[in-house]
């Protein structure tokens, strides 16, 4: 079973990973965006880590809803409301249980990813974070390691795609040949799950 501590470790590992990789995420956002994805997420996840440290919530669901709220209120770019919605909706789906099973988490994350799709209108293949999140959720029933591998594969597979959503879509054909920054950061969040489980 996964308790509140697991979810606190997940968010702490995600914040550390985003902080380590922020320059790379911003570099990816240069040719097909406005070069702010790394700084956006670094600011957002620093706020998440600070809020969770200040007043650690008592349930897995409350950890994720607080984290989601922080992302929505501190990240200006498109990714803030999208990741905020992902975590808030996932947290809501976990309810007020003190512990959840990996299967519960997989089901809740599926609801979270569905909410991201509803908010942003992106489907798999549109060259967005959805391209990493959808395969990750599908593989999560197997293991955290399988989810990490699926997310990384999904992110790498965005390179040859033409963007159909978000800022990169303004470039049309010129978005081809660049890896999507949001799919790359989504793979970091999924990889952080495995780190939280190993800790």
The residues that touch ligand ADP, with contacts defined as CB under 6 A, are: 29, 33-34, 36-37, 40, 77-79, 82, 120-122, 128-130, 165-167, 180-183
Give whichever of 130 and 147 is closer to ligand ADP, judged by the CB atom.
Answer: 130
Give whichever of 3 and 121 is closer to ligand ADP, judged by the CB atom.
Answer: 121
Give whichever of 36 and 152 is closer to ligand ADP, judged by the CB atom.
Answer: 36
128 binds, among ligand ADP, Mg ion, none (CB under 5 to 8 A by kind): ligand ADP
Query: Distance of CA 47 to CAs 23, 59, 120, Å?
Result: 18, 19, 23
90 binds, among Mg ion, ligand ADP, none (CB under 5 to 8 A by kind): none
Two tokens at 16?
Answer: 């550390």
Rounded to whole angstroms, the Cα distance separating 118 from 70 reads 20
48 binds, among Mg ion, ligand ADP, none (CB under 5 to 8 A by kind): none
Segment 13 to 42, residues that bind Mg ion, using CB under 5 A = 29, 33-34, 36-37
Q: Long-range contacts: 77-83, Cβ < 8 Å, 24+? A: 77/36, 77/37, 77/40, 78/120, 78/166, 78/167, 79/37, 79/40, 79/41, 79/129, 79/182, 79/185, 80/40, 80/44, 81/119, 82/116, 82/119, 82/120, 82/129, 82/182, 83/41, 83/44, 83/129, 83/189
Task: Provide, rounded to whole angstroms, the least separation between the CB of residue 64 and Mg ion.
Answer: 24
Segment 76 to 115, residues that bind Mg ion, using CB under 5 A = 77
99 binds, among ligand ADP, Mg ion, none (CB under 5 to 8 A by kind): none
Task: Provide, rounded to whole angstroms, the least separation between the CB of residue 4 and Mg ion.
Answer: 32
Segment 58 to 77, residues that bind Mg ion, using CB under 5 A = 77
Decide if 71 contacts 42 (C-beta within 8 A): no
| Sign of CA pseudo-dihedral 139, 144, 147, 149 | negative
Give whichever of 9 and 178 is closer to ligand ADP, judged by the CB atom.
Answer: 178
3-state SS assignment for residue 3: strand
Binding positions for Mg ion, rule: CB under 5 A: 29, 33-34, 36-37, 77
């Amino acid at each position: 079973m996964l308790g509140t501590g697991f979810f606190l470790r997940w968010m702490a590992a995600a914040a550390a990973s985003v902080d380590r990789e922020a320059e790379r995420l911003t570099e990816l956002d240069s040719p097909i965006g406005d070069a702010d994805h790394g700084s956006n997420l670094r600011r957002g996840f620093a706020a998440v880590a600070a809020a969770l440290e200040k007043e650690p919530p008592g349930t897995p669901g409350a950890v994720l809803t607080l984290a989601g709220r922080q992302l929505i209120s501190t990240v200006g770019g498109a990714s803030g409301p999208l990741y905020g919605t992902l975590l808030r909706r996932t947290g809501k789906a976990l309810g007020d249980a003190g512990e959840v099973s990996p299967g519960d988490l997989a089901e809740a994350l599926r609801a979270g990813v569905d909410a991201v799709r509803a908010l942003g209108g992106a489907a798999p293949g549109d060259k967005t974070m959805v391209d990493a999140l959808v395969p990750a959720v599908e593989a999560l029933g197997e293991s955290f390691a399988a989810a990490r591998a699926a997310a990384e594969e999904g992110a790498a597979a965005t390179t040859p795609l033409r963007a159909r959503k978000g800022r990169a879509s303004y470039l049309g054909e010129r978005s081809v040949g660049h890896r999507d920054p949001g799919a790359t950061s989504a793979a970091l969040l999924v990889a952080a799950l495995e780190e939280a489980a190993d800790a």
